[in-house]
Structure 1
Amino acid sequence: MATMRLLLFCALCSAGIHLISSLTDPNDASVLQTLKVSWKNTPPSWDKSSDPCGFPWEGVQCTGARVTSLRLSSMGLKGELSSYIEGLTELNSLDLSFNPGLDGSLPPQLGDLQKLNILILAGCSFVGPIPEELGNLEQLTFL
């Protein structure tokens, strides 16, 4: 019985340590959780962890604790691109291509992603004008 208590105590402590030492920047994790809620058909790995960099989410690449790339081409995503995307301030690549279920207008906040150099939206169902704020993306080399 004492061994069982010790094992349970160790398991709880290690779980607590994991929660305390989450690898993903809290702001980045919050933005990804918002995207997860606003989209349908996210990859199954997105439901297995709340730490996209520590327990990698499919299509999410990190450098250290920061999300630097979202490569979600042909995932069957449905929904709208949230304006909260602007919170991924270290994002340099965003590929949402060939997700025809992604619709609505493109949020002007995409123009706030100052490190973005790749933006791929082909094969989606976005409507309306291209936000003029995309002109603010001085690092953008591929659109």
Structure 2
Amino acid sequence: MSPRRSLVWLGLTPEPERELPTTVAALRTAVRDLAHTPAEAAQAERHRVERLILHGTQQRWLRYLAEVTGLVTAVAGGARPGDRRAALRAAEVVLDHHRMLIGLPGTGYGRTAADRRALESAVRTLRTAPPDGDRG
């Protein structure tokens, strides 16, 4: 197997593929005019994650998780409306994943350093701010 198609990243943890579809669907649909039910949105996200896991690479997977990080930090920072509990759960799952990258060969851990810092900040914010986002 060539180093470009290494599958070692798939062995980290099942939580992202189990937890992210529902939480990410909730974050994505928070600002859309819902053409689909929450269950349909979650199923579409589940298919996306499944395709990434079955046919993707670590690089593509990390890009997806960076996209999730962007959604989370936008909700935490108030730049985007969204379910703060879903944002917190997504942040915790991605942060745990990124921390485990230290045990894998390659540059994944270093590549996710900025995302880890952003997620740590978002987790602090989401845990301390009221669920409705009212800080005052």
TM-score range, shorter chain: 0.3 to 0.5
Structure with the bigger RCO (C-alpha within 8 Å, sep 6+) is 2
Report which of the two has the higher share of helix: 2
Report which of the two has the higher share of strand: 1
Find the structure with the greater CA-based Rg: 1
